[in-house]
Chains A and B, each alone.
Chain A
Amino acid sequence: MTSNFTIPKFRLPGFVAALGQKLPQWPHAVTLTLGLNAALKMGLLPEGDLAALDDKLFRVRVHDTGGEASFTYRGGLFRPVFRPQREPDLAFAANLSAYLQLLARQEDPDTLFFSRELEITGDTELGLIVKNMLDAVEWPQLRLPLRGH
């Protein structure tokens, strides 16, 4: 992989989403919460800000894979929620490429939001806390191989 490989903006074909919606949704939620809990364990997420997430319901939706994950933060851990009984406090929706660009710190969430590639709905302040919390994380070994420099 070249050293300045960047993630292009892409959209998966429609049938992927149609297929994705037919698959059970829980694997996404499990993977996501496992990752978040790992970050917690490494002390990457600031404790002061975590309190604001207590008992909140989050939903991450990937338009072009049809995937969706709901989870909450309770008792110091992120936990998947398989059958949410209410509207989430905070919901994200975007295509897969947008999430990948965010994770690789290749694009800024505000940029994606301005260009309408990232949808954020629900409690705006909670959204800001989550965004700023993730921005402030200093990923140690997790340097994504996707992006050299």
Chain B
Amino acid sequence: MPALPDLVCPAGSLPALKAAVDNGADAVYLGYKNDTNARNFAGLNFDPKTMADGIRYAHAKGREVLLAINTFPQAGRVADWQRAVDAAVDQGVDAIILADVGLLDYARNRHPQQRLHLSVQGSATSYEAINFCQREFGIRRAVLPRVLTLAQVENVIRNTTVEIEVFGFGSLCVMNEGRCWLSSYACGESPNTVGACSPAKYVKWDKKPGAMETRLNGVLIDRFGDDEPAGYPTLCKGRFEVQGETYYALEEPTSLNVLSILPDIVKIGVSAIKVEGRQRSPAYVTQVTRTLRAALDSLAAGGERYHVKPAWQAELAKVSEGSQATLGAYNRPWR
């Protein structure tokens, strides 16, 4: 069996980072408290001091810290993003996760020794795109968007020497990762412009007798009955009336969960498995990290005898959006 992939877990706060490290993450990824990262939510993320504490904690236990600077520099403010790169290098993170080619170029030239990863927001789905970034910017790893089938992932791995990281668990951000403007349609702000999809200031949860309504800047996104599970207030997960029928036209509120195909993911040579959720709490990070660690370790120990334990599925189902799980694009018949 090829080497076990690294388990890369999210940290939106110092307690979450510690939870990831303590529960078996090989690496944590995090962001600065500003719009240089795609989870720019109030109260979330790290300032230089908490980041230094976090790096110290992770390194003391031999784990890596990856810093996401994965939004696109806005016109007139490129220097802010470049400064974030400089600061990350100064702080001694193990790798910087970048999406913008201009920024990759800057990092490569200014800090040739720094390890760089290509963010999922960079939307590289082909080995040509990945090999281009390797040749031009020396990237060591690329995070694949959640749009490829397993066979397609394998094809990418066969044709590149860049390490490949894939998503293993978390809420789905469908389709055009790195290029989605749905949120701007409703409220004028999107992940790539302000670092957040559906910013909270536009979200309204309205409790009505027997139902709860979600609105994004006044646009009705969904209506949940009292016993229906809720989801995030993003347009992609809204229920819309299409030709007289109202349903989840773009995506159901579900979470990706790859436990059942973990042996295949390892077999094709994936280098790292990523867990989504920097916006979630330390409790979530603990539960998901612990579960995936157990699954990976059991795979390493048992090889062929690997099977998904019901307790793992139950733990992951509980924290899932919409309390449902899917294999996403990995096993989709169409491409």
The residue on B at minimum CB distance from A121 is B207
- Interface stretch among A14-22, A71-79, A106-114? A106-114
How near does chain A come to B93, taking the closest CB pair, in angstroms? Answer: 19
Contact with A along B1-29 (1 / 0, CB 8 A): 00000000000111110000000000000
A11 is an interface residue with CB less than 8 A from chain B:
no
- Chain B residue nearest to A128 (CB atoms) is B200
**A108 touching B42 by the CB < 8 A rule?**
no
Taking a contact as CB atoms under 8 Å apart, the answer to whether A133 and B205 are in contact is no
Q: Which chain A residues numbered 25 to 73 have a C-beta less than 8 Å away from chain B? A: 46, 49, 52
Asked if A137 and B15 make an inter-chain contact with CB atoms under 8 angstroms apart, the answer reads: yes
A41 to B253, CA, bound (A): 41
Which chain B residue lies CB-closest to A91? B207
What number of residue pairs across chains A and B have CB atoms under 8 A from each other?
Answer: 97
Residues of B within 8 A of A114 (CB): 229-231, 253, 320-323
Given contacts A111-B318, A128-B41, contact A116 B15 (CB under 8 A): no
Chain B: residues with Cβ within 8 Å of the partner, total of: 42
Q: Beyond A124-B204, A125-B201, is A108–B13 a contact (Cβ under 8 Å)?
A: no
Q: Which residues of A contact B14 (CB under 8 A)?
A: 136, 138
B239 smallest CB distance to A (angstroms): 16
Are B228 and A116 closer than 8 Å at their CB atoms? Answer: yes
Residue in chain A with minimal CB distance to B279: A110
Is the pair B42, A52 in contact by a Cβ cutoff of 8 Å? yes
Is A96 on the interface with B (CB-CB < 8 A)? no
| A115:B201 contact, CB within 8 angstroms | no
One of A121, A130, A136 near B13 (C-beta < 8 A): A136
Other-chain contact of B281, A108, A129, A138 (Cβ < 8 Å): A108
User: Do A136 and B15 touch across chains, with their CB atoms under 8 A apart?
Assistant: yes
Within 8 A of A (CB), among B109-137: none
Give the distance in Å from the alpha carbon of A110 to the alpha carbon of B279 in the complex: 9
Q: Distance in Å from the Cβ of A62 to the closest Cβ of chain B?
A: 16
Tell whether A135 pairs with B16 under 8 Å between CB atoms, given A108-B281, A121-B205.
yes
Find chain A residues with CB under 8 A from B201 CB: 124-125
B43's contact among A49, A120, A124, by CB below 8 Å, is which?
A: A49
Q: Are B207 and A119 in contact (CB under 8 A)?
A: yes
Report the bound CA distance from A116 to B227 in whole Å. 7
CA distance A138 to B322 in the complex (A): 29
The residue on B at minimum CB distance from A110 is B280
Contacts of B167 in A (CB 8 A): none
Chain A residues within 8 Å of B44, by CB: 132
Which residues, 205 to 259 on B, are CB-close (under 8 Å) to A?
205-207, 212, 224, 226-231, 233, 253
CB distance from A139 to the nearest CB of B (A): 8
Q: Which residues of A contact B322 (CB under 8 A)?
A: 114
Near A by CB (< 8 A), chain B positions 130-156 give none
CA gap between A137 and B287 in the complex, in Å: 19
Q: Is B294 an interface residue (CB 8 A)?
A: no
How far is A130 from B42 in the complex, measured between Cα atoms in Å?
Answer: 9
Q: Compute how far the CA of A107 lies from the CA of B286 in the bound complex, rounded to whole angstroms.
A: 10
Q: Hey, which chain A residues are within 8 Å of B279, CB to CB?
A: 110
Report A-chain residues with C-beta under 8 Å of the C-beta of B231.
114
Q: Chain A residues with Cβ under 8 A from B43's Cβ?
A: 46, 49, 128-133, 135-136
A111 → chain B, closest Cβ, in Å? 5
Q: Is A115 touching B229 in the complex (CB atoms < 8 A)?
A: yes
Quick check: A110 and B281 within 8 Å, CB to CB?
Answer: yes
21 A-B residue pairs with Cβ-Cβ distance under 8 Å, sorted by A, are: A105-B15, A105-B283, A108-B284, A110-B284, A110-B321, A113-B230, A114-B231, A114-B253, A114-B322, A116-B227, A116-B230, A124-B201, A128-B42, A128-B200, A129-B43, A130-B43, A131-B281, A132-B42, A135-B43, A135-B281, A136-B15
4 closest A-B pairs (Cβ-Cβ)?
A132-B43, A108-B284, A125-B200, A136-B13
The interface of chain B, by Cβ under 8 A from chain A, is 12-16, 41-44, 50, 199-201, 203-207, 212, 224, 226-231, 233, 253, 279-284, 286-287, 318-323
Given contacts A107-B283, A115-B229, 17 further A-B contacts (CB under 8 A): A46-B43, A105-B286, A108-B280, A109-B281, A110-B280, A114-B321, A116-B226, A121-B206, A124-B203, A124-B233, A128-B43, A130-B43, A132-B12, A132-B43, A135-B43, A136-B14, A138-B15
